[in-house]
Structures are given as C-alpha cells and as structure tokens.
Amino acid sequence: MLVFRTMELSRSSLPDQVFHRLAADVLAGRYAPGERLPTQRALAAALGVNMASVREGIKRLEQLKLVDVRHGDAMRVRDWRAHGGLDVLVHALGGAPALDDEVMRSVMEARGLLLADAARLAAERRDEDQAALMIRLAGEVAAARDDDAAQGADFAFFATLIAASSNLVLLLVANSIRDLYFARLADFRALVRDRAVLAPLYAEAAAAVAAGDGEAAARIVGELAAAQEAAWLEGLG
C-alpha cells in the first residue's frame, strides 16, 4: 500500500528528501521486513520527484541495508534491526523532521554506557596532556556564558575522554553518535542546561581520570551521563 504524500521542496536535495522519507517509513515499521516497496515509478509519482532522485534515494537505502534490490524482482524491505549499523541512526535521524523518541532513548542509554566504559579505560591509559585538557574543559563548562559555549566544551570534554581510552571500537561508535549530535545540535541543548548540577561532575570526572582511578571515573561519568539524560528526557515532556 502506498503511504506517501507528495513532498514539498525543502532546503535538502531531492535525492536527500526521497532517502529520508523512505528511511523514516522503513524505520517506523510502515513496511514490514520482507514487504515489497512500491515500484520506483510509483514512488516518483507519489513523492512528486523525478526517477533519477528516486534511484539515488533507493541506492542510499540499499547501502544502509534497509532494502534489498534485485534485478528482475521488486524492492524488499530488510530487517534493519538485524542487518543495519549505526549509520542508520546518523543518516535517517539526522535528516528527519523530528527525532524518534524511542530510538533516541536507546541512543542516550548507549551513550551513558559507552562514556562510563571510556572513562574507566581513560583513567588507565590517558597521557598527561589529555588529563590536563579534561580538567581545563571541565572548567570551561562551568564558566560557559551560554548553552552554545557549554555545548562546545561538553563535546570537547567527552571527545578527549574517548580519545584517551585508546579503544578503536569506542572511538568508531562515538564517531557515529557525534555525527548525529552535530546534525541535531538544538535537540541536545538540554544536555548542558543545568550547569549548576553538572559542573561539579565534570570536575570530579576529570580529577578521577587524572588520578588514574578507573572505577571512580566510570562511576562519576555514569552519574554525569545519567543527569544529562534526565534533563534531556524532561525536555521531551
């Protein structure tokens, strides 16, 4: 069943519009795994775009393993939970009109776990420059004049923490979350809004990493991430 409405032109390119619209419908479950998509001609008519834009959008869906395109057969939806990677979040949510609350709750939960593990490793592996930088950035968060400045210091703080962990997988996962973060900065502003509560946690986390206390660093960073998640969830309400 064709579920699309004719699209209005936006600032993004036509292939981008096609991709994000189709990805949103697949991720939202409007098409079940194994279900056929409408033909490219039908999609072009429904979306009000040309065939070249549809082909490019479909190609990007195939690259993200959201659909399976076989010559002589219809396009079929793949089970993205079984086959997709983190790039699904970046490309789909990054260009969606609004963030999906359920998916973003999972992102925030995973962020907290990743940062706590990174903090434990960073306390063991950081060099002196990284430890000093984290202490300085914690101070910049506390002294930030506005949310924009605090958000920049917050990002740099956690980027330094993850780099100090020297774990390639954590770095790559963080890169994917980072891309989503930068695509939707305004949606994450609540993470740094309550600086009176958060500032001491940044300072304590930086001190624990500098002292080489992995368990304390993991615990404090976990508390910091949980406080940020709670502020973000409150913003949803």
> What's the rounded Cα separation, in Å, for the pair 120 and 229?
20
Please give the structure tokens belonging to residue 92: 């789909």
Which has the minimum average pLDDT: 73-82, 153-162, 163-172? 73-82
DSSP state of 184: T
In the three-class reduction of DSSP (H, G, I as helix; E, B as strand; rest coil), residue 65 is classed as coil
Count the Cβ atoms, other than its own, within 10 Å of residue 81. Answer: 9
Contact predicate 160/114, CB 8 Å: no
Phi and psi at 68, nearest 5°, equal -120, 120
Separation CA 205–CA 115 (nearest Å): 11
Burial 89-120 (b: 16+ CB within 10 A, else e): bbbbbbbbeebbeebbeebbeebbebbbbbbb
Q: Give pTM, 2 decimals.
A: 0.75
Domain boundaries of the chain, sorted by first residue:
14-93, 98-236
pLDDT of 224 reads: 97
pLDDT at 4: 38
Q: What is the pLDDT of residues 93-134, one digit of tens each?
A: 655 555 567 777 888 898 999 999 999 999 999 999 999 999
How far is residue 30's CA from residue 38's CA, in Å, rounded to a whole number? 13
Question: Number of H helices and number of E strands within the chain?
Answer: 12, 2
Q: Which tops the pLDDT comparison, 11 or 76?
A: 76
Which pLDDT value is given to residue 74?
Answer: 80
- Mean of pLDDT values over 56-78: 87
Half-sphere exposure of 40 (CA within 13 A, CB side): 21
Confidence of residue 175 (pLDDT cuts 50, 70, 90): confident
Q: Which of the following CATH numbers is that of domain 98-236: 3.90.226.10, 1.20.120.530, 1.10.3720.10, 3.30.420.280? A: 1.20.120.530
pLDDT at 91: 65
Helix (H, G, I), strand (E, B) or coil at 27: helix
Residues in the chain: 237
Q: Give first-to-last CA distance, the chain, whole Å.
A: 34
pLDDT at 87 over 80: no
Could you tell me which CATH number the domain at 14-93 has?
Answer: 1.10.10.10
| Angle CA 206–183–110, to nearest 5 | 50
Task: With beta carbons less than 8 A apart as the criterion, state whether 98 and 208 touch.
Answer: no
